[in-house]
Amino acid sequence: MRAHARFLDARVGRSGLEASLEPWLSGVSGGQLVERDRRTGRYRVVSEQPPIPGRDVRLHVDAALQRQLERILDEAVERAGGRGGAAVLLGARTGAVRVLASSPRFEIDRIGAAYRRWRDDPRAPLVHRAIAAQLPPGSTVKPIMVLAALAQGGLVLDGAPVRGDRRFVCRGYLYNRHAFQCHARYGHGPLTLAEALERSCNIPFYRIGEALGPEALATWYRRFGFGRRSGIDLPGERPGLVPTPRWKSRRLEAARSAERRARTRLLAALRAGGGPWRGAPWRARLGAGSRWDALQRAARRWRQAARWAARCEEDGGWRKGDSRNAAIGQGNVLATPLQLAVFAAALANGGRLVRPEVAGLRLEASAHRAPELALEPAGLAVVREGMRLVTSGAHGTARPSVLRRADTAIDEATIALWRHAYAKTGTAQAGAVSHAWIVGWLPAPAAGDEPLAFCVLVEGIASGGGGSVAGPVAARMLRLAVAREGAP
């Protein structure tokens, strides 16, 4: 009998953790091979396999902490007028997931009665944003650009290699005031790379992205796990996107092909004849599925395909602007909150890409060894200094005063802990709205503990940034997590 064979009336995990852990939870069904004598009618057991009970699985997720964070996240999303949010907290050395929160959520015991309403809800409560929300990560990925610029002797800019103490001048824009601007309208003045991380200045990273080019940018993104699934023991994880010139060309060709197919179907519907529009009563009498309905559907699909093809044509091939946008986490770069938490864990542990897990099965078996990224110590030191300034510097985008103004629930104990954290904020523009991000880690709160890597997302806000919207959620999450460990 096969190890994963099931009887028809067996209860089987179909979604979530129960689906991914089905072989461990259910065990192995037992059975007998029986022979019946046709003359006597007697039965004889030829072979027998006893059942093997399923294993108990202990989760790393702290249920009480998860519930508290879901409430805090819901409040932050509502306060910012956002569409949704996510929060991730994991061990930076082991990848053990402590919190994996998403807002809004659905209630599993009501999935049958309310499924259609949740499916049609524009806030998408059926999507677990922590593992499946693919959004531009914004400035949270700027530390990658610092590491790339300082790797292997330094990236050459203006005839000289980039060093950690080199100063870049920010005038508020790159070449002119109408494109590739910094959020500081009148500029930040001269900044080192650590200070650029502290203030989230765009100008140095535009220049680094342009000098690196698309292939090097893609290589550095992929080194930190972007563009592929992290391997968490949950179904439904999305891979994100790392754009390249080849990807852009393939997208354009796919859009052209889709437009041609839609046009062919529309012409076929026109030749079949849809008849004139005679009002709703005529359509109701004729019934759905009529030629008129088919023509309308074909026309609508062609318009959608034509708009997308025109947008891809306008975007064209890879330009320098694409490299600049990719360097600040904008454009076509997409990441999930879980990927950004894994990225933060790699910065915290010195350059090992952990594989996150909710259950303790892989850690017990030591089945996975995190790959070493071989990061330059000098580059990592600059990144850590810049991310420390984000939370404790006078101009940090997530300094204590920013958090206090945004959330009155931030107390002195939370601020004292937050000053020890390393973070990077991001505000990714998406049309008329923005996505507020913050990623980072808290050093091990006590001997024998591991650093806690985190990521918080608040999606679809009209105003505010990563520090003021997502920062308070991250600070309160760390304080609650440390309190749960029994630390002061």
Average pLDDT score over residue span 129-137: 96
Residues 111 and 11 in one domain: no
- Residue appearing with tokens 């079949």: 272
Both 451 and 326 in one domain: the answer is: yes
CATH number for 378: 3.40.710.10
Q: Are residues 230 and 257 in the same domain?
A: no
First to last CA, the chain: 54
Model pLDDT, residue 2: 45
Structural domain tally of the chain? Answer: 3
Q: Give the tokens for residue 346.
A: 């790699």
Is 251 inside any structural domain?
A: yes
CA 375 to chain centre: 23
Q: What is the pLDDT of residue 366?
A: 46
Q: Are residues 82 and 227 in the same domain?
A: yes
Quick one: 430 and 349 in the same domain?
A: yes
Kindly report the average pLDDT of the chain as a whole number: 87
Position 418 in a domain: yes
Residue 293 has pLDDT above 60, yes or no: yes
Tell me the average pLDDT across 304-315: 93
Does residue 283 sit within a domain?
Answer: no
Binned at pLDDT 50, 70 and 90, residue 321 comes out as very high
340 and 310 in a common domain: no
At 198, list the tokens: 């502290």
pLDDT at 413 over 90: yes
Residue that is last in its domain, among 57, 79, 100:
57
Within a domain: residue 353?
yes
pLDDT at 122 over 90: no
- Domain presence at residue 284: no
In a domain, 282, yes or no: no
Contact (CB, 8 A) for 473 and 435: no
Write the pLDDT tens digit of every residue in 227-260. Answer: 999 989 888 899 999 999 999 999 999 999 999 9
Q: Please name the residue that has the structure tokens 């071989």.
A: 374
Percent of the chain with pLDDT over 90: 61
Q: Are 39 and 69 contained in the same domain? A: no
The span from the CA of 188 to the CA of 184, in Å, is 7
pLDDT at 209: 96
For residues 77 and 32, state if they share a domain.
Answer: no
Outline where DSSP puts E strands in 390-442: 422-430, 433-442
Give, as one character, the DSSP assignment of residue 140: G
List the one residue out of 115, 74, 69 whose CA is nearest residue 88: 69
At 57, the pLDDT band (50, 70, 90 cuts) reads confident
pLDDT score for 355: 92
Residue 282 makes CB contacts below 8 A (sequence gap 6+) with none
- Which domain, by its residues, includes 42? 1-57
Higher pLDDT, 108 or 126: 126
Considering the domain architecture, whether residues 96 and 152 belong to the same structural domain is answered as: yes
Would you place residue 45 in the very low, low, confident or very high pLDDT band (cuts 50, 70, 90)? Answer: confident
Same domain, 2 and 125: no
Residues 343 and 422 in one domain: yes
* Contact residues for 212 (Cβ-Cβ < 8 A; gap 6+): 145, 148, 149, 155, 220, 323, 327
Query: What is the residue whose two structure tokens read 């050093």?
Result: 443
Residue 97: φ, ψ to 5°: -85, 120
Question: Using 50, 70 and 90 to split pLDDT, how confident is the model at 284?
Answer: low
Residue environment code for 380-389, b if the CB has 16+ CB neighbours within 10 A, otherwise e: bebbbbbbbb
3-state SS, residue 186: coil
Is residue 35 located within the same domain as residue 80? no
* 218 part of a folded domain: yes
Q: Phi and psi (nearest 5°) for 442?
A: -115, 125
Specify if 281 maps to a domain.
Answer: no
Q: What pLDDT sits at residue 15?
A: 67
Least confident of 123-137, 277-291, 404-418: 277-291
